[in-house]
A and B are shown apart, each in its own frame.
Chain A
Amino acid sequence: MNFDEYNIRLQEIIKKLENNDVSVEEGTKLYEEGVEIAKKCYETLKTNKGKVIILKEELEKLSNFADED
């Protein structure tokens, strides 16, 4: 699943939890799944943000190099 698909799953979990018929066990299980998804989302964000930061630095180096010319 990618980030957006994870979010869709989170929405589904919320929809289920909004239903009053969910049992405590079921609710906890859904919540557990939601937290797992959140973990994965944070990991994805961290990894991709890191990549962009590295790319940005590369870009800055390139433009500094061009300025020296």
Chain B
Amino acid sequence: MLKTLSVSELSGYITSIFEAEELLQNIKVYGEVSGLSLVRGNLYFNLKDENSIMSCIMFGVSSNLIKEGDQILATGSMRYYSKGGKLNFYVSSAVPYGSGILYQKFLELKNKLELEGLFDNKNKKPLPEKINTIGVITSKTGAVLHDIQTVSHRRNPCLNIIVYPAKVQGTGAESTIIDGLKYFDKQKDIDVVIIARGGGSIEDLQPFNTEILAREIVKISKPVISAVGHETDFTICDFASSIRAATPSEGAELVAFNLFEKLDKINISLDKLNYLAFHLFDSKQEKMENLISNMTSLVIQNQKDNKNKFYQNIEKLKSLSKVLFLNKEHNLELYKNKLILLNPTETLNRGWVRLSVNNKLVSSVKKIKKNDDVFIELKDGTISAIVKDFKEKI
């Protein structure tokens, strides 16, 4: 007869089986860490190898204990979590156990392609100055496409976005991405191709870490922007692309120039142009007016100087004429005195007499004869006399 059990009864039974199985208690398991997340001090991750995967939980640890892609040796026990209906490996301690195989493969491929020169700048195509249409290879569902559309249309509502729906995770993802690249390469109006995907574990991003995709990116004629994962996720796709955008939103920003910013810039330039044109007039006018006022004050000064020179000359002339008259007056006085001295009346005053014969002045006895009638003038009168005798000075 079939036994009927409740879910809890069945879960309890499973739990007890695992707890009783010594082989599953306190054991060591090695594998590669993936899908790591830290929630309230508990680490949730998967341990995996090529064929299998195991869900693991580690309580009360810091985030930097292990990282994505690490190959670790974990010690713990298998337990059935009845509330979640899930079998987990509860890890009590973990130590490094070589490096993660996927990560190792990623590094090897990166080095190989780098050495080959596939990532060289010569293989990078510059973004065209005018981007009108972009091709986006991404999942049709999910936030990535929405983010790209929102961000790019906010900046430039005129941008055409053509989407190539692709698988971005799991089997077959790589080939749909490559098909997308090939498709867009043939479309003439596509200016740039964006390969986009949100963040994920190294396994999730595996389709973006393949050699064939890297070579296809380099091969096509259009520039490719890799917008895969979060800022901290690096993929081969990033290195092979013309530009790596840290996030899908940044990818959209790169292709959608800000139309409004550009319009603002033009307006600012026009304002500057207007300002400079009028400023030029103002500065030229100011310079000229300075020269004119300088010139005016110089002319006024020049006229003042010339007037002063004129006044100085007048003053000089005045003083010179004064000196001239003074000299003349002095001379005149001298002449006057001389004249005074020469006045015969003055001689008579001093006691001398004037003698004349027949109205002729006589100054020498040689002009006198005996019995000449002589006329003698004195200071205060005249005498008429007859010459009795005369004697010449010897």
Contact = CB atoms under 8 A, between A and B. Distances in A.
B284 A14 contact: no
B291 A59 contact: no
Contacts of B285: 41, 45
A68 interface: no
Given A45-B284, A52-B278, A63-B270, A11 B299 contact: no
B303 interface: yes
Describe B's contact surface by its main secondary structure: helix
A14 B288 contact: no
A13 B270 CA distance: 39
B295 A13 contact: yes
A17 B288 contact: no
B327 interface: no
Contacts of B305: 20
Contact of B277 (A18, A22, A52, A63): A52
Describe A's contact surface by its main secondary structure: helix
Nearest to A62: B270
B284 A10 contact: no
A11 B298 contact: no
Contacts of A20: 302, 305
Interface in B287-328: 287-288, 291-292, 294-296, 298-299, 302-303, 305-306
B292 A34 contact: yes
B239 to A, nearest CB: 43
Interface in A26-66: 27-28, 30-31, 34-35, 38, 41, 45, 48-49, 52, 56, 59, 63
Q: What size tier do the contact residues of chain B reach? A: 20 to 34
B295 A14 contact: yes
A26 B298 CA distance: 13
Contacts of A22: 302
A16 to B, nearest CB: 9
Contact of B298 (A18, A52, A59): A18
B284 A3 contact: yes
Contacts of B274: 56, 59
B306 A23 contact: yes
A24 B303 contact: yes
B267 A24 contact: no
Contacts of A30: 295, 299
B292 A10 contact: yes
B390 interface: no
A11 B291 contact: yes
A7 B292 CA distance: 9
A31 B43 CA distance: 93
Contact of A24 (B278, B294, B298, B302): B302
Given A24-B302, A24-B303, A17 B267 contact: no
Interface of B: 267, 270, 274, 277-278, 281, 284-285, 287-288, 291-292, 294-296, 298-299, 302-303, 305-306
Given A17-B299, A20-B302, A24-B302, 6 more contacts: A3-B288, A28-B299, A45-B281, A48-B281, A56-B277, A59-B274
Interface of A: 3, 6-7, 10-11, 13-14, 17-18, 20, 22-24, 27-28, 30-31, 34-35, 38, 41, 45, 48-49, 52, 56, 59, 63
16 contacts: A10-B288, A14-B294, A14-B298, A17-B299, A18-B298, A24-B306, A28-B299, A28-B303, A31-B295, A31-B299, A34-B292, A35-B292, A45-B285, A52-B281, A56-B274, A56-B277
A-B interface, 8 closest residue pairs, ranked by CB to CB distance from nearest: A17-B298, A10-B291, A31-B299, A27-B302, A34-B295, A24-B306, A52-B277, A38-B292
